[in-house]
Amino acid sequence: MVSLSRKLLPSTSALAAFDSVARLGSFSGAAEELSLTQGAISRQVSGLEEQLGVQLFHRTSRGVSLTSAGADYAKAVANALSQIRSASLQVMTKRHSDQLNLAILPTFGTRWLMPRIPQFVARHPEITLNFATRIGVFDFDRDGIDMAIHIGQPDWPGAECTFLMEEMVAPVSSPAFLASHPIKKAEDLMRLPLLHMASRPGAWNHWFESLGITGTPSQGMRFEQFGNVAQACITGLGVALMPLFLIDSELATGQLVEAFPHQVRGTSAYYAVAPLSKTDFHPVVAFRAWLIEEIGRYREEVVGW
């Protein structure tokens, strides 16, 4: 068992030498890159081949090339060394600061969260924020994430979900589109081009049902990002059902207007989610408290919330 364990754990110096030769295609190039002699590189690679019991390179008078097994091993080793370098860099740069690896939703992060982040940084200069974009449920440990902003239901396995806010949605369009397509009653929307979000397939049905209207809404263009939907509305391609807090600026500038005065609560809500192992982690506790406070302040400014 000990012998097998040793075979499966080559030294990092041997792996680094192999990785360098595999990338550069020569022992001399690897020697120059690693500041070693060509003989030292050759011994490291030969020792690795002997330890694994596998030939990793074809050696000819014209140079070296990877064997089939060597090519597969080179990919795996390159990934492993990259992860080790990243982990080492993170430890080296962390120093005395706390770090929060935060997963955010693209539109929520860009339009609502980022403009407010300077306030958190000013309050907690000891915490370094690192952002990643994630949509849907993922593995916190695998992705190295401490906390996530999630939209959906509070049913994330192995995690604590803290309610942040619901969405108020309403149909919006450009002023020009509304002028050329007058909407006197909600049923009028049924005959207009409706824009759809791929992540909210039942949103329009939910909106019409809240008014007691039955039927099938028109199948218009479908988008994956709210920013693209907003732009499509601005250019006059149709009417979209949008979370109002995500288009504050477009509504304020008049680029978009409510096409019909009826708002409903969306079927999903926003949550701050942290794995159970991180619920008491200082950066998570601090950011969650600040986020709840900031959302409370924002809701006080929005009529009807």
pLDDT digits (tens, 9 = 90+) for 38-52: 999 999 999 999 999
Q: Is the pLDDT of residue 277 over 90?
A: yes
Candidates 3, 38, 5, 7; CA nearest to 24 is: 38
Q: Where are the beta strands (DSSP E) in the chain?
A: 57-60, 63-66, 98-104, 127-133, 147-152, 159-173, 194-197, 222-223, 239-243, 257-258, 264-275
Q: Is the pLDDT of residue 154 over 80?
A: yes
CA 30/CA 128 separation, integer angstroms: 37
The residue-averaged pLDDT of 203-221 equals 86
3-state helix, strand, coil in the chain (%, to 5): 50, 20, 30
Exposure letters 123-151 (e unless 16+ CB within 10 A, then b): ebeebbeeeeebeeeeebeeeebbbbbbb
Question: Could you tell me the two tokens for 155?
Answer: 């049913």
Confidence band, pLDDT 50/70/90 cuts, at residue 5:
low
Exposure letters 92-112 (e unless 16+ CB within 10 A, then b): eeeeeebebbbbbbebbbbbb
CA 240/CA 224 separation, integer angstroms: 13
CA 165/CA 293 separation, integer angstroms: 12
Exposure letters 179-196 (e unless 16+ CB within 10 A, then b): eebebeebeebeebbbbb
Confidence band, pLDDT 50/70/90 cuts, at residue 9:
confident
Q: Are 252 and 236 in contact (CB under 8 A)?
A: no
Q: Are 27 and 33 in contact (CB under 8 A)?
A: no
| Length of the chain in terms of residues written | 305
Q: Is the pLDDT of residue 29 over 50?
A: yes
Least confidently predicted of 79-93, 136-150, 162-176? 79-93
Name residue, tokens 């396995």: 157
CA 150/CA 136 separation, integer angstroms: 7
pLDDT of residue 227: 83
Q: Is the pLDDT of residue 94 over 60?
A: no
pLDDT digits (tens, 9 = 90+) for 237-258: 999 999 888 888 899 999 999 9
Confidence band, pLDDT 50/70/90 cuts, at residue 93:
low
CA 130/CA 145 separation, integer angstroms: 9
Q: Is the pLDDT of residue 1 over 80?
A: no
Confidence band, pLDDT 50/70/90 cuts, at residue 2:
very low
The percent of residues above 70 in pLDDT, for the chain, comes to 93
Neighbouring C-beta atoms of residue 4, cutoff 10 Å: 8
Q: Is the pLDDT of residue 157 over 90?
A: yes
